[in-house]
Amino acid sequence: MVTIARPIARWFVQARYPSGTRLLPILMYHRVLKEPDPLQPAVPDVRQMAEQFRALAGAFRVLRLHEAAEMLRAGRLPAGAACITFDDGYRDNHDLALPLLREFKLPATIFVTTGFLNGGCMFNDTVVETVRRLASGAIDLSEVGLGQRMITDIASRRALVNDLTRAVKYLEPGHRHEFCADLCRRSGSRLPNDLMMDDHQVRSLSDSGWVDIGGHTVSHPILAKIDEEQARREIIDNRDRIEELTGRKSLCFAYPNGKPDLDYTALHAKIVREAGFLSAVSTAVGVATDQADPFQLPRFMPRERSAAQFVARMMRMATHRHPQFAR
Cβ neighbours of residue 257 under 8 Å, at least 6 residues apart?
169, 220, 222, 263, 283
Phi, psi of 81 (to 5 degrees): -65, 145
Give the count of beta carbons closer than 10 Å to the beta carbon of residue 8: 12
Burial 278-301 (b: 16+ CB within 10 A, else e): bbbbbbbebbbbeebbbbbbbbbe
Please give the size of the binding site for Zn ion, defined by CB under 5 A: 3
**Beta carbon nearer to Zn ion, 115 or 256:** 256
Burial 129-150 (b: 16+ CB within 10 A, else e): bbbbebeeeebebeebebeebe
Span interacting with Zn ion, options 31-39, 72-80, 102-110, 252-260, rule CB under 5 A: 252-260
Quick check: 88 binds Zn ion (CB under 5 A)? yes
Q: What is the spatial distance between Cα 162 and Cα 128, in angstroms, rounded to a whole number?
A: 9
Nearest to 86 by CA among 166, 32, 143: 32
Span interacting with Zn ion, options 85-93, 146-154, 293-301, 317-325, rule CB under 5 A: 85-93
Phi, psi of 316 (to 5 degrees): -60, -35
Span interacting with Zn ion, options 37-45, 80-88, 144-152, 314-322, rule CB under 5 A: 80-88
Among residue numbers 135 through 194, which ones bind Zn ion (CB under 5 A)? none
Quick check: 234 binds Zn ion (CB under 5 A)? no
**Beta carbon nearer to Zn ion, 87 or 92:** 87
User: Burial of 122 by CB count in 10 Å (0-12 exposed, 13-18 middle, 19+ buried)?
Assistant: buried
Quick check: 87 binds Zn ion (CB under 5 A)? yes
* Bridge partners for 252 per DSSP: 279
Quick check: 263 binds Zn ion (CB under 5 A)? no
**Beta carbon nearer to Zn ion, 87 or 212:** 87
**Beta carbon nearer to Zn ion, 21 or 114:** 114
**Beta carbon nearer to Zn ion, 52 or 219:** 219
Cβ neighbours of residue 244 under 8 Å, at least 6 residues apart?
none
Residue number, nearest CB to Zn ion = 87
| Smallest separation (angstroms) from Zn ion to the CB of 28 | 10
| Smallest separation (angstroms) from Zn ion to the CB of 97 | 16
| Smallest separation (angstroms) from Zn ion to the CB of 191 | 18
Nearest to 284 by CA among 232, 239, 321, 238: 321
**Beta carbon nearer to Zn ion, 21 or 238:** 238
| Smallest separation (angstroms) from Zn ion to the CB of 175 | 19
| Smallest separation (angstroms) from Zn ion to the CB of 256 | 5
**Beta carbon nearer to Zn ion, 123 or 325:** 123
**Beta carbon nearer to Zn ion, 87 or 125:** 87
Q: What is the spatial distance between Cα 307 and Cα 8, in angstroms, rounded to a whole number?
A: 13
| Smallest separation (angstroms) from Zn ion to the CB of 254 | 7
User: In this structure, is the dihedral angle defined by the CA atoms of residues 24, 29, 33 and 35, taken in order, positive or negative?
Assistant: negative
Span interacting with Zn ion, options 55-63, 230-238, 239-247, 256-264, rule CB under 5 A: 256-264
**Beta carbon nearer to Zn ion, 238 or 265:** 238
| Contact letters for Zn ion, residues 214-233 (x by CB under 5 A) | --------------------
Quick check: 125 binds Zn ion (CB under 5 A)? no
Residues at the contact surface with Zn ion, assessed by CB under 5 A: 87-88, 256
